[in-house]
Structure 1
Amino acid sequence: MPRLWHRLVESLLGRWLGFRLIEPESPAIDVDLPTFYVLPHASLTDEVALSRLTRDRNLPRASHVHRWSPCRLPACFALPRLKRTRRGVTGQHAPQLQALLEALEADSALDAQLVPVSVFWSRAPGKDFGFWKMLAADDWAWSGRLRRLLSVVVNGRHLEVHFGDPIRLRPLVDGPHGRLTQRKVARVLRVHFRRVRARVLGPDISHHRTLMRGVIESRPVRELIRETAATNASSEEKERRRAERYAREIASNMSYPVLRFFYELLKRLWNRLYDGVDVHGLDAVKAIAGERTLVYVPCHRSHIDYLLLSYVLYREGLMPPHIAAGRNLDMPVIGPLLRRGGAFFLRRSFKDNRLYAGVFNEYLHRLITRGHPIEYFIEGGRSRTGRMLSPRPGMLAMTLRSFARDARRDVAFVPVYVGYERVLESGSYLRELRGGKKRKESPLDLLRVIKHLREPHGRVSVNVGEPLSLAGFLDHIEPDWRGQRDALRPEWLQRSVPALGATLARRINAAASLNAVSLCAMTLLATPHHTIEADLLISHMTLLVRLQRELPGSERCRLPIGDASAWIDHVVALGFVDRQSQSLGELISARPEQATLLTWYRNNGLHLFMHFSLVAFAFRNNITFTLDELDALLKPAWPLLADELYFSVPDDTRARLAETLATLEAHSLLRRTEDGWRRQPGHLAASEHLRLLGQLVQPTLERVYLLLASLLRYPSGELTRQTLEEHSRQLAERLTLLSGLNAPEFSDRRLFSGMLDTLEHEGWLRETQDRLHFDDALSRIQMRSRGLFDPELRHRLVRLTHRPASDSDITRDG
Structure 2
Amino acid sequence: MRAWLNRVLYELVWWLFRPFAPFIRYRNAPDPLVPGLALDRAKPVVFVLSSRSWVDYFVLDRICKDLGLPRPSRTGSNFPTPERAGVVYMPALLETRLRNTDLLRLIETGIATKSFETQIVPVSIFWGRDPGSETSWFKLIFADSVQAGRVRKFFIMLANGRNVFANFGLPLSFRETVDREKDAQTAIRKLVRALHFHFLRARSAALGPTLVRRHVVIEALLQAPVVQQAIARETGPALTREKALAYARKCAEEIAADYSTAAIRFLERLLSVFVFKRVFSGIDVRGLDRVRAWAQQYEIVYMPAHRSHADYLLVSYSLYHAGLVPPHIAAGVNLNFWPVGGLLRRCGAFYMRRSFSGDRIYTAVFRAYVDSLIRRGYAIEFFPEGGRSRTGRLLAPKTGLLSMVVEAGLRQRTRPILLVPVYVGYDRCWEVSSYAKELRGAKKQKESAEGLLKAGKILGKSYGKAYINFGEPICLQDYADAHLPGWRNYFAPESDAQPPGFKRFVSQLALEHARRVNAAAVANPTSLVAVALLSAPERVVSADELVEQIGHLVWLLKGNPASEHQYVPETAPRAILEFAAPIARAVRVPHAWGDLYGVSARDAVALTYNRNNIQHLFAIPSLIANLFRTRMLMTDELVVTAVRALHPFLRTEFFLADDGAQCETTTRRWIEVMLQLGLLTREGDRLRRPDADAPAYSTLAMLGRVLNETLERYCMTALLLAEERRGAQALKRERIEEDCRMLAERMAILTGRDAPEFFDKALFRGYLNTLIDIGLVRQREDQSLEVDARIDRIAERSQELLSDESRQMLLQLLSRRKTPDAASASGAV
Query: Shorter-chain TM-score category?
Result: over 0.9
Distance 2:78 2:459 in 1: 61
Which residue identity lines up with residue 91 of structure 2 in the other structure? P
Asked if 1 retains the 8 angstrom alpha-carbon contact of 2:51 and 2:89, the reply is yes
Aligned residue among 60, 69, 76 for 2:87: 76
Distance 1:111 1:160 in 2: 29
Which residue identity lines up with residue 330 of structure 1 in the other structure? N
Mean Cα deviation higher: 423-432 or 238-247: 423-432
Query: Who is 1:710 aligned against?
Result: 720
Q: CA deviation at 1:346?
A: 0.5
SS of residue paired to 2:22: coil
Note the 1:580-659 alignment, pairs <5 A: 580-650=589-659, 651-659=661-669
Query: Who is 1:462 aligned against?
Result: 468
* Cα distance change of structure 1 residues 581 and 316 upon mapping to structure 2, 3 Å threshold: same
Distance 1:354 1:508 in 2: 32
Query: Who is 1:86 aligned against?
Result: none
**Residue 133 (str. 1) matches residue 145 (str. 2):** no
Q: CA deviation at 1:356?
A: 0.7
Which residue identity lines up with residue 560 of structure 2 in the other structure? L
**Residue 243 (str. 1) matches residue 256 (str. 2):** no
Q: CA deviation at 1:219?
A: 1.8
Which residue identity lines up with residue 147 of structure 2 in the other structure? W
Note the 1:37-436 alignment, pairs <5 A: 37-68=47-78, 75-80=86-91, 95=101, 97-130=103-136, 132-134=138-140, 136-138=142-144, 142-181=147-186, 182-230=188-236, 233-268=238-273, 269-436=275-442
Query: Who is 2:581 aligned against?
Result: 572
Distance 1:362 1:375 in 2: 16
Query: Who is 1:35 aligned against?
Result: 45
SS of residue paired to 1:729: helix
Distance 1:323 1:473 in 2: 24
Distance 1:135 1:517 in 2: 50
Asked if 2 retains the 8 angstrom alpha-carbon contact of 1:680 and 1:687, the reply is yes
Asked if 1 retains the 8 angstrom alpha-carbon contact of 2:484 and 2:502, the reply is no
Asked if 1 retains the 8 angstrom alpha-carbon contact of 2:53 and 2:150, the reply is no
Distance 2:437 2:523 in 1: 25
Q: CA deviation at 1:790?
A: 4.2
SS of residue paired to 2:820: coil
Q: CA deviation at 1:309?
A: 0.7
Query: Who is 1:796 aligned against?
Result: 809
**CA displacement, residues 379-405 of structure 1 (integer Å, 9 cap, x when unaligned):** 111111011111111111111121232
**CA displacement, residues 76-101 of structure 1 (integer Å, 9 cap, x when unaligned):** 33233999xxxxx9986684552333
Distance 2:713 2:571 in 1: 36
Distance 1:96 1:443 in 2: 64
Aligned residue among 510, 534, 544 for 1:525: 534
Q: CA deviation at 1:809?
A: 7.9
* Cα distance change of structure 1 residues 483 and 805 upon mapping to structure 2, 3 Å threshold: farther
- Gaps in structure 1 of 5+ consecutive residues: 84-88
Which residue identity lines up with residue 76 of structure 1 in the other structure? V
Q: CA deviation at 1:318?
A: 0.5
SS of residue paired to 2:56: helix
SS of residue paired to 1:142: coil
Q: CA deviation at 1:576?
A: 1.9
Which residue identity lines up with residue 227 of structure 2 in the other structure? V
Aligned residue among 534, 541, 549 for 1:540: 549
SS of residue paired to 2:48: strand
Distance 1:74 1:683 in 2: 66
Query: Who is 1:478 aligned against?
Result: 484
* Cα distance change of structure 1 residues 534 and 194 upon mapping to structure 2, 3 Å threshold: same
Distance 1:76 1:93 in 2: 20
**CA displacement, residues 260-293 of structure 1 (integer Å, 9 cap, x when unaligned):** 1011111112112111111111122111102211
* Cα distance change of structure 1 residues 94 and 156 upon mapping to structure 2, 3 Å threshold: farther
Which residue identity lines up with residue 410 of structure 1 in the other structure? P
Distance 2:502 2:65 in 1: 56
* Cα distance change of structure 1 residues 63 and 731 upon mapping to structure 2, 3 Å threshold: same
Distance 1:668 1:793 in 2: 28
Distance 2:546 2:154 in 1: 61
- Gaps in structure 2 of 5+ consecutive residues: 825-829
Distance 1:59 1:259 in 2: 31
**CA displacement, residues 688-727 of structure 1 (integer Å, 9 cap, x when unaligned):** 1111100111111111111111112123892111110001
Query: Who is 1:2 aligned against?
Result: 6
Query: Who is 2:784 aligned against?
Result: 771
Query: Who is 2:795 aligned against?
Result: 782
Asked if 2 retains the 8 angstrom alpha-carbon contact of 1:424 and 1:449, the reply is no
TM-score normalized by the length of structure 1? 0.93
Aligned residue among 677, 684, 709 for 1:674: 684
Query: Who is 1:563 aligned against?
Result: 572
Asked if 1 retains the 8 angstrom alpha-carbon contact of 2:778 and 2:787, the reply is yes
**CA displacement, residues 461-491 of structure 1 (integer Å, 9 cap, x when unaligned):** 1111111111122222223332333453432
* Cα distance change of structure 1 residues 753 and 93 upon mapping to structure 2, 3 Å threshold: farther
Which residue identity lines up with residue 724 of structure 2 in the other structure? Y
Distance 2:59 2:725 in 1: 79
Mean Cα deviation higher: 689-698 or 402-411: 402-411
* Cα distance change of structure 1 residues 28 and 497 upon mapping to structure 2, 3 Å threshold: same
Note the 1:486-497 alignment, pairs <5 A: 486=495, 488-497=497-506
Asked if 1 retains the 8 angstrom alpha-carbon contact of 2:525 and 2:579, the reply is yes
Distance 1:654 1:806 in 2: 41
Distance 2:570 2:158 in 1: 43
* Cα distance change of structure 1 residues 129 and 257 upon mapping to structure 2, 3 Å threshold: farther
Asked if 1 retains the 8 angstrom alpha-carbon contact of 2:712 and 2:802, the reply is no
Q: How many residues align?
A: 801
* Cα distance change of structure 1 residues 106 and 662 upon mapping to structure 2, 3 Å threshold: closer
* Cα distance change of structure 1 residues 549 and 172 upon mapping to structure 2, 3 Å threshold: closer
TM-score normalized by the length of structure 2? 0.92
Asked if 2 retains the 8 angstrom alpha-carbon contact of 1:576 and 1:598, the reply is no
**CA displacement, residues 337-361 of structure 1 (integer Å, 9 cap, x when unaligned):** 0000110000111121111100100
Asked if 2 retains the 8 angstrom alpha-carbon contact of 1:80 and 1:91, the reply is no
User: CA RMSD for the aligned pairs?
Assistant: 2.5
* Cα distance change of structure 1 residues 9 and 656 upon mapping to structure 2, 3 Å threshold: same
SS of residue paired to 1:719: coil
Asked if 2 retains the 8 angstrom alpha-carbon contact of 1:433 and 1:597, the reply is no
Distance 1:477 1:283 in 2: 29
Q: CA deviation at 1:568?
A: 2.7
SS of residue paired to 1:714: helix
Q: CA deviation at 1:497?
A: 1.7
**CA displacement, residues 429-465 of structure 1 (integer Å, 9 cap, x when unaligned):** 2323443232111112221222121211111111111
* Higher helix proportion: 2
Q: CA deviation at 1:560?
A: 3.5
Asked if 2 retains the 8 angstrom alpha-carbon contact of 1:20 and 1:158, the reply is yes
Which residue identity lines up with residue 473 of structure 1 in the other structure? Y
**CA displacement, residues 588-620 of structure 1 (integer Å, 9 cap, x when unaligned):** 111121111111111111011111100001111
* Cα distance change of structure 1 residues 91 and 358 upon mapping to structure 2, 3 Å threshold: farther
Q: CA deviation at 1:328?
A: 0.5
Mean Cα deviation higher: 285-294 or 59-68: 59-68
